[in-house]
A and B are shown apart, each in its own frame.
Chain A
Amino acid sequence: MTSRRRFLALACGAFAAGEVAAQLDPNIQALRRAALESAIRKVTGDKPVRTGKVKLEVPPLIDNGNTVPLSVFVDNPMTAADHVKSIHVFTEKNPQPYVVSVYLGPRSGRASITTRARIADTGKVIAIAQLSDGTFWSDSVSVVVTLSACLEDGLI
């Protein structure tokens, strides 16, 4: 998680720029973007990922980044011939990009999962589904994460 000192220092500058995105050190941001791309590539193996069929539901404004309700639905008949094999969820800004990978099949009946994630910082959440025909489909949601006003541990 971004250190609060840094967050406030950047926030003062960011007010002028009017952008919420510039919170992470640019080096860290670049490293995390690379980690995200590498994680996605491990799942998709360089095959193209199209947007569509997948519906990722995450609240756009998050009460608390520690526990964020998250659901993924894929529009798919879930038959032996045509089903969702797996769904993978990633975040853009977390210290590591993976959230969860679930493996489904025709016995699932529906491609629908619900869970709760940790989202450290304002940014994108991405869901990628692999279908039985080998294609990959995705959806992404941009979320804003707020920090708690008062913390228990005292001064940082």
Chain B
Amino acid sequence: MARVVISVPASTKRGEVIEIKTLAAHVMETGFRRTQTGELIPRDIITQLVCTYNGVEVFRAELHPAMAANPLLAFTTVATESGTLEFKWTGDNGYAATQSASITVT
């Protein structure tokens, strides 16, 4: 189960800069580790997170193996209008997860 969690304020004033925190459950296997018998464990990471605000991209991150497991990405965005924030994670081996949050802007 692709567990992700986001933390977004439910309501805010127009023009305010809000903090968004995202967490995704993922082992982020680097591709550099070896088993006890010496075989390379293949890479398996989240490679991208995109956040759109009413359909417009406001944040994008490209992740590499040096990102910790269960990656946290916290960033900011300006509360321009009420609507939906959508988050999409994609990664190796067809990993995909989405989450959305409504925001009320007065």
**Beta-carbon contact of A109 and B61 below 8 Å:** no
Dominant SS among interface residues on chain B: strand
CB distance from A79 to the nearest CB of B (A): 11
Give the residues in chain B near A33, CB-CB below 8 Å: none
Q: Does B80 contact A (CB under 8 A)?
A: yes
Interface band, chain A: 20 to 34
Q: How many residues of B contact A (CB 8 A)?
A: 29
A95 to B61, CA, bound (A): 21
Also in contact, A91 and B66, with CB within 8 A (given A102-B60, A103-B61, A118-B30)? yes
27 A-B residue pairs with CB within 8 Å: A1-B32, A67-B68, A67-B69, A94-B66, A95-B32, A98-B64, A99-B64, A99-B67, A102-B60, A106-B78, A107-B53, A107-B58, A108-B59, A108-B75, A108-B76, A108-B78, A109-B17, A109-B77, A110-B17, A110-B76, A113-B73, A113-B74, A113-B75, A114-B21, A116-B71, A117-B68, A118-B30
The residues of A with any CB-CB pair to B shorter than 8 Å are 1, 66-68, 91, 94-96, 98-110, 112-119, 153
